[in-house]
Amino acid sequence: MLLKDANILVIDDDEDVLTALRLLLKSMVKSVQVNKNPNTIQSLLEQHQIDIVILDMNFNGVVHTGNEGIYWLNKIKSFNSKIDVILITAYGDIDLAIKSLKNGASDFIVKPWKNEKLVDSIKQILLQKKTVKAPRLESLSGEKIVGDSAVMQDVFLKISKVAPTEANILILGENGTGKDLIARAIHDNSNRKNKPFVKVDVGALTSTLFESELFGYKKGAFTGANENRMGRFEAASGGTLFLDEIGNITLGQQVRLLSVLQNRTVTPLGSNDAIDLDIRLICATNLSINDLADESKFRKDLIYRINTVDIIVPPLRDRGSDITLLCHHFISNYAEKYFKEPFKLDPEFIKKLKDHTFPGNVRELQYTLERSVIMAEGNTLKANDLVFSAIESAQKPQTSKIVNLEILEKTAILNVIEKNNGNISKSAKELGITRTALYRRLNKYDL
Ligand SMILES: Nc1ncnc2c1ncn2[C@@H]1O[C@H](COP(=O)(O)OP(=O)(O)OP(=O)(O)O)[C@@H](O)[C@H]1O
């Protein structure tokens, strides 16, 4: 990352230090925020994209132990471990310096500092940083999957493991959680990325259309078949076939699909010639795995066939800090799209956003923020600029459908470890199990 792209936050109770650092850095970096009060750190990190915090170690001017600095350093790291922190103190205590580095500080500077040394330290830190600001999965189509929460990091890890394989994938998640985006990311990160990605919303196909659309037909196969038509299975040859809303197909359609997948051939309607299949199959549904396991609705043999690996995409309300991360992502995209200056976010705006349950998940967040950007008067988004969709709010949030015990346990473990900043002893205590039991589970879930 380059110096000119960096966003810096300076926290020091000495006004002179704040002024000096703002003047020094203003012309070199993308943005400098300064504040006297460390209690504002959390809301500043929520409101602004910050890459480095320059943090004073002594705030009350009475106790010069530096412990306040370490306290705030830990707070910043638990908010987002990827933010670098440079600690600054008038007391060049080597023990304290080592302690702060052990606690995750990236560097330590003694007052009065030399400007070149401070700028050098910032440059060194930036050299290690990638230009991509938010943790995200890249895709060829240019769309980014943004997410920093433990549950989404887990999803990203799974995607990167399964993408290069030929495994059939089943993606489960409520509407608007990003299943489509994930299916594309799997394709774009697979060996089939230069071949077609074909999406079919099978849940919306009538029974007659289901066969003609998927398998294709020969001229004269039925009334209205005026020419040969290639089916979607054949169109996806060499690439990926994405069957969306798979949970909505009838039992009869399931039998047809299963026979094609078992035989690895497809025969267009009106033809006697079977065509060999060369597809990677990805399916998605907003039904839970439990609903799918109901044999009166879904054939078990088909589930096994389409579900070599499942990816469960959690609802947005269970993703913690992702809401603010996605908020910054969408607002900066829409500000650019609608030719507006970059927006500042009022703390009340963030609070209102975080208090909402988002029954429509990321899609609802995205459209809500687009509306806010379009309607905003000034360049600060306030709580009033946030109007939630009446249609989505009229629906009760779907109760979380993750009823698989193992997934619940794994999610709980990841959340607690993230909360405790990776500290295993503290996490084990909070989970009510021993360290050994926690290690055993980490092993079991490959964490
Ligand atoms: N993690 C994410 N980062 C950035 N954008 C996202 C993310 N998740 C979803 N989106 C955006 O939200 C919108 C809805 O996502 P998508 O269509 O993939 O959801 P879905 O689960 O397939 O929805 P449905 O079940 O209704 O088909 C899209 O515009 C997508 O680009």
Cβ atoms of 342 and 378 within 8 Å: the answer is no
- Which atom of ligand 1 is found nearest the CA of 182? 18
pTM, two decimals, is 0.66
Three-state secondary structure call for residue 88: strand
Topology (CATH level 3) of domain 137-312: Rossmann fold (3.40.50)
Per-residue model confidence (pLDDT) at position 315: 95
Q: Which of 145, 366, 368, 389 to mutate to test the pocket of ligand 1 (most atoms within 8 A of CB)?
A: 366
Q: Which of 159, 322, 362, 395 to mutate to test the pocket of ligand 1 (most atoms within 8 A of CB)?
A: 362
The architecture of the domain spanning 316-394 is Orthogonal Bundle (1.10)
Ligand 1 centroid from CA 180, angstroms: 6
Per-residue model confidence (pLDDT) at position 417: 77
User: Which two tokens mark 165?
Assistant: 């394989």
Q: Is the CB of 180 under 6 A from ligand 1?
A: yes
Query: Which phi and psi angles does 33 have, rounded to 5°?
Result: -105, 140
Parallel, antiparallel or unpaired: strands 240-244 and 197-201: parallel
Ligand 1 centroid from CA 322, angstroms: 14
User: Which two tokens mark 443?
Assistant: 């092993």
Q: Which long-range contacts (CB under 8 A, 24 or more apart) does 250-255 make?
A: 250/207, 251/297, 251/299, 252/207, 253/202, 253/205, 253/207, 253/210, 254/298, 254/299, 254/302, 255/299
Q: What is the ipTM of this complex?
A: 0.98
Per-residue model confidence (pLDDT) at position 142: 62
Per-residue model confidence (pLDDT) at position 68: 76
Residue closest via CA to ligand 1's atom 23 equals: 176
Q: Is the CB of 323 under 6 A from ligand 1?
A: no
Ligand 1 centroid from CA 66, angstroms: 45
Q: Is the CB of 247 under 6 A from ligand 1?
A: no
Per-residue model confidence (pLDDT) at position 399: 46
Topology (CATH level 3) of domain 3-128: Rossmann fold (3.40.50)
Ligand 1 centroid from CA 353, angstroms: 18
The correct CATH number of 405-444 out of 2.60.40, 1.10.10, 1.10.1760, 1.10.3470 is 1.10.10
Q: Where are the domains of the chain?
A: 3-128, 137-312, 316-394, 405-444
Parallel, antiparallel or unpaired: strands 309-312 and 169-172: parallel
Ligand 1 centroid from CA 383, angstroms: 24
Cβ atoms of 124 and 161 within 8 Å: the answer is no
- Which atom of ligand 1 is found nearest the CA of 244? 27
Q: Answer yes or no: same fold for 3-128 and 137-312.
A: yes
pLDDT along the chain (447 residues), means of 10: 89 90 92 91 84 84 61 85 86 70 86 88 85 49 79 89 93 96 94 95 87 93 89 96 94 92 94 93 92 86 91 93 90 92 89 91 95 92 87 55 64 76 80 82 71
User: Which two tokens mark 200?
Assistant: 């079919």
